[in-house]
Amino acid sequence: MKQPLATTDIHIGCAGWNLPRDAWPSFPAHGSHLERYAARLNAAEINSSFYRPHQPQTYARWAESVPADFRFSVKLPKTITHEKRLQDCESLLGGFLAQVAGLGTRLGCLLVQLPPSLAFDDMASRSFLETLRIAHDGPVALEARHKSWFGEEVSQHLAAHRVARVLADPVRFDAGRWPGGDPHLVYVRLHGSPRMYYSAYSQTVLDALAIRLQLAAASDAAVWCIFDNTASGAATSNALYVAQAMVNCNKTSQAKAS
């Protein structure tokens, strides 16, 4: 069987683990889609949790389907981020965390994606993040989509709660070209450009991305790179390419050191 391409300190994968048919030759022929996917990539982002809850047993089954070093990122429900808009959602948050506990040690990160209309509010954000941090101590990444979240003061606010601001492509604002918040976590989400969710990234872009991820990992940050250009199936091939590029970078570094 082919060995996983991604390294344990850099998590590379897709939003979901559906395998487009043209990518099947790169994965084992047998097993569920998740089992086959996890044989080659070491991370996946669960987006379905945004739309509907899953039973802890479902999360546990997914966790049992992947290797010990595989990690899941799980997106917070829209009831919390888009309907309650981070306010008065303690019970909803508690229910969600009880569900994802089924992942056990395979839970790698929580993803908080905010609606584009949600401006930064210090009191609301502080209350939500403090509540979240009382209940959950693991890595958290926040994808802000309103310009007010991209100032230095807000970045420091996020860092104080150990929350990283996602670097998302396409970039909405100039300050979004770099990750922010907690410097110990770098979370990159690539939605496809120029056509969101569809466009594949060129090898030139992916090569530059691989170098950037390598530099982030060298700074002792935990690194996540998730491809969300899944509508055309491009995410899978893009993730495989970057994962292989990371392996090649490691081999080159080791050769230079020896």
Domains in the chain: boundaries = 10-257
Q: Token pair 């199936």 is at which residue?
A: 233
Question: Three-state SS for 109?
Answer: strand
Q: Which fold has domain 10-257?
A: TIM Barrel (3.20.20)
| pLDDT per residue as tens, the chain (258 positions) | 455 555 557 999 999 999 999 999 999 999 999 999 999 999 999 999 999 999 999 999 999 999 999 999 999 999 999 999 999 999 999 999 999 999 999 999 999 999 999 999 999 999 999 999 999 999 999 999 999 999 999 999 999 999 999 999 999 999 999 999 999 999 999 999 999 999 999 999 999 999 999 999 988 899 999 999 999 999 999 999 999 998 877 665 555 655
SS3 97: helix
**26-32: long-range pairs with CB below 8 Å, 24+:** 26/2, 26/236, 26/240, 27/2, 28/1, 28/2, 32/65
pTM (two decimals):
0.94
What are the residues whose beta carbons fall under 8 Å from the beta carbon of 69, sequence distance 6 or more? 8, 42
pLDDT given for residue 1 in this prediction = 42
Map tokens 């993730």 to a residue: 239
Q: How far is the C-alpha of 53 from the C-alpha of 45, rounded, in Å?
A: 15
Half-sphere exposure at residue 120, Cβ-oriented, CA atoms within 13 angstroms: 19
Token code pair at residue 213: 């991820």
Q: Who's near 24: CB < 8 A, 6+ residues apart?
A: none
